[in-house]
Amino acid sequence: MATFYYQGRNADGSKASGLVEAATEELAAEMLLNKGIVPTSIAQGAAEKSAFDFNWKALLTPSVPLEVLVIFCRQMFSLTKAGVPLLRSMRGLAQNCHNKQLKAALDSVCNELTNGRNLSASMQLHPAIFSPLFVSMIQVGENTGRLDQALLQLAGYYEQEVETRKRIKTAMRYPTFVITFVLLAMFILNVKVIPQFTSMFSRFGVDLPLPTRILITTSDFFVNYWGLLLGIIVGLLFAFRAWVNTTNGRIRWDHLRLRMPIVGDIVNRAQLSRFARTFSLMLSAGVPLNQSLALSAEAIDNKFLEQRILEMKSQIESGVAVSATAINANIFTPLVIQMMSVGEETGRIDELLLEVSDFYDRE
């Protein structure tokens, strides 16, 4: 799945431009024509984001929980395996769906199926709900005549993803508590405790050492200029958001996240576990190696790791072995690289990648 930047004309002749996700340029053009847009140019790749661009619609629109997608995949698997016609299955699930976003998407998919579009192309019109990974798995299932198995694999994948997220939350609970407690203690010390000592020291009239004077000055700033301090914090947050919203800023921040004390190691292993599990799923489904890497990179919520994995993809397309590209990426442990090398030699790389995912989960 790739992102294409297009320019074109609407039905009324007005100019239109934007981004569209599709497997090929031809599919992107077809999607635009179905929307009433006649494309004049289509180029692969997203336009550089402005520092102050923000997707407010995505922020305000609740996403479909993974648990809901698991139930959907399980139900679709059962209906497909039982031989129920696809359109009838989708309509039944749409009628009984309690999630508004998924229900609207399923209704749209039913309309597209009625118009003769296949399931993967219909789901591709809703990238906020059906990810490129999801669509690719459905497409493989359609092409091989094993749609039920593709749905079963997706259900297992999302179930494992739910469990991984729960483990991450559990692992992050203690560091979050400690950091929150330290910040709260610093606030109470500066606002309540230190001012009392300041008045006592002033009555004694003694010369205070430099560290104590710095501490008292900091406390005075907290107490007397809290409005200015609040404004500085808000300004820094906006500046940070603007920086992170740029491509280079996001990559640097995601790299920094991986190097943070305590939490960085947890985030790193969680993301690499997701990559290994996704890569294994794609390969076992019969998705080509380079496309599997691209989809696996997209599934990772870390632009730095995504960039490294896409570099692996480019090297593989140049003829470099998978294990060699993993070494060059410098993001995997030696044990994982060894397992990938063995899997490449034995033709069981998908199975060993699944073990890699389990290894990271246990860590």
Domain endpoint, select from 102, 137, 160: 160
82 and 20 in a common domain: no
334 and 273 in a common domain: yes
Asked if residues 108 and 126 have their Cβ atoms less than 8 Å apart, the reply is: yes
Q: Kindly report the CATH number assigned to the domain that includes residue 19.
A: 3.10.20
Q: Which of 86-95, 230-239, 337-346 has the lowest mean pLDDT?
A: 337-346
For the stretch 168-214, pLDDT in tens is: 888 788 888 988 999 899 888 888 888 887 877 777 776 778 888 88
Predicted pLDDT at 58? 46
> Is the pLDDT reported for residue 46 higher than 70?
no
**Which residues have CB under 8 Å from 189's CB, separation 6+?**
219
* 21, part of any domain: yes
151 and 74 in a common domain: yes
Number of domains within the chain: 3
* 271, part of any domain: yes
- Distance, in Å, from the CA atom of 60 to the CA atom of 101, rounded to the nearest integer, reads 13
How many CA atoms are closer than 13 Å to the CA of 192, on its beta-carbon side? 6
- Distance, in Å, from the CA atom of 288 to the CA atom of 279, rounded to the nearest integer, reads 11
Full 3-state SS string of 155-194: HHHHHHHHHHHHHHHHHHHHHHHHHHHHHHHHHHHHHHHH
Predicted pLDDT at 252? 93
What is the radius of gyration, based on Cα positions, of the chain? 26
- Distance, in Å, from the CA atom of 65 to the CA atom of 47, rounded to the nearest integer, reads 29
Q: Kindly report the CATH number assigned to the domain that includes residue 337.
A: 1.20.81.30
* 277, part of any domain: yes
* 198, part of any domain: no
How many CA atoms are closer than 13 Å to the CA of 127, on its beta-carbon side? 13
114 and 39 in a common domain: no
67 and 41 in a common domain: no
Domain endpoint, select from 160, 189, 208: 160
* 86, part of any domain: yes
142 and 116 in a common domain: yes
| Number of Cβ atoms within 10 Å of the Cβ of 2 | 17
* 6, part of any domain: yes
268 and 342 in a common domain: yes
292 and 342 in a common domain: yes
Task: Determine the structural domain holding residue 92 and report its residue range.
Answer: 60-160
Domain endpoint, select from 143, 160, 177: 160
Predicted pLDDT at 13? 62
34 and 80 in a common domain: no
Over residues 260-278, mean pLDDT:
83
> Is the pLDDT reported for residue 231 higher than 80?
yes
76 and 17 in a common domain: no
Greatest mean pLDDT among 148-157, 262-271, 297-306: 148-157
**Where do we find the tokens 């490129």?**
132
pTM score: 0.67
